[in-house]
Each structure stands twice: as structure tokens, then as C-alpha cells.
Amino acid sequence: MREKLDRRKKYTRKVLKESLIALLADGKPLSGITVKAICERADINRSTFYMHFSDPYDLLNHIESEIIEDLIAYLNTYRFTVEEESQKMTQKLLEYIAENQFLFQTLLVKNKDPAFEKRLMEIARRFMMSAVPHMNKVNSRYLSTFVVSGAIHVIKDWLANEMDLPPEKMAALINHFANYPRLH
């Protein structure tokens, strides 16, 4: 009996998440999305929604937290030498984004969620700072902020342009831009 409830709970959360993302993808701002609209799209009643989430903001926060946890776990499965770390880690990040294209296009490009963007930046900074062990902490923090901010905006542009280059080429470009800021 417990397994059946867990499956039902997982299904309910899944359709609620999909419904919110679909509404955001349709161009509705989060502030304009009601619990009623989410429930109608998910074909679930409002009391069921409130058993899982307090409001659309809580639901979006839950979605973003799951993405962040999944992304960290995904990136932690890869280990590279210091020399190859930056480009390979960027490529793995871009591959993950490509696998979840609709979700990232919705949250970063269409919805332009600054909180989600900031969370992504923190993950990228953490991985980047571990790849630059020879630099002092303050310089490393500022360098990573500079590089990651630019990289996030390049990734958003890449998403907005339907990922017109494969992840490995984008990773090489981002790495090149980060290491050689003058255009050649």
C-alpha cells in the first residue's frame, strides 16, 4: 500500500511541476500564475496541490532545488586533471543543459528567473574555484564571478538561439573567452 501512495505522490508532483513549467513556457510570469491554473492544467484539484506545495513560488523553488541537486550530482561524477578541468566541466554542464533544454530555456530565457540564475552561478563558481588552487581566495572569488557571469549570459544566448552549436564547441568557446578575452 505504501509503494502505491509513493508512486501516486511522485506522479502528482511530476504533473504539477510540468504544468507550472508549461505555463511559464507559454510566457506567463510567475506572479500571474495561480494555483487554479496549475491545477487545471495538471487535472488535479486544489486541495491536492496544497498537500504538496504552499503556492506557485514554493513549487518553482522545489523544481529549481531539484535541478540544482541533480546538476551537482551529475557534475560530481566527473573528475578531470587541472589542465582539462575548465573546458571539460563546462562541456558537461552544457550537455546537462542540452538534455534538459526545455526546462532551462523556460527558466533562464523565457522566465528570466534571477534566483535560479544565481544558484547556477554559485554551482559554477564552486566548481571553478576548486579548479584554480594556486590563486588566493579573494582573487579566485572575483575571477570566478567575472568568468561565470559571462559564461551564464553566453549560455542564455545559446539557449535563446536553439543551441545552434554542440556543447563541446560552446565549451571550447567559453573556455577561450575566459582565458583570452581579446577577440582574435
What domain range is 161 assigned to? Answer: 59-179
Query: Does 44 share its domain with 66?
Result: no
The answer, yes or no, to whether residue 84 has pLDDT greater than 70, is: no
What is the per-residue pLDDT across 3-57, written as a single tens digit (0 to 9) for each?
566 888 999 999 999 999 999 999 899 999 999 999 999 999 999 999 999 999 9
Q: Which residue has the higher pLDDT, 115 or 2?
A: 115
**Domain match, 94 and 152 both:** yes
Asked if residue 85 and residue 12 are part of one domain, the reply reads: no
Q: Are residues 8 and 95 in the same domain?
A: no
User: Is the predicted pLDDT of residue 159 greater than 50, yes or no?
Assistant: yes
Residue 99: band (very low, low, confident or very high) from pLDDT cuts 50, 70, 90: very high
pLDDT above 70: percentage of residues in the chain: 85
CATH code, 22: 1.10.10
| Grid cell at residue 124 | 559554477
Asked if residue 7 belongs to a domain, the reply is yes
Q: How far apart are CA 178 and CA 148, in angstroms?
A: 9
Question: Are 35 and 109 in the same domain?
Answer: no
CATH at 116: 1.10.357.10
Least confident of 12-21, 115-124, 131-140: 131-140
- Whether 34 and 64 share a structural domain: no
Amino acid at 7: R
What's the whole-number mean pLDDT along residues 165-173?
93
Same domain? For 10 and 93 the reply is no
pTM comes to 0.79
Give pLDDT, residue 184.
44
> 88 and 145: one domain?
yes
Query: Average pLDDT of 120-130?
Result: 75
- Residue 169 to residue 172: CA distance in whole angstroms: 5
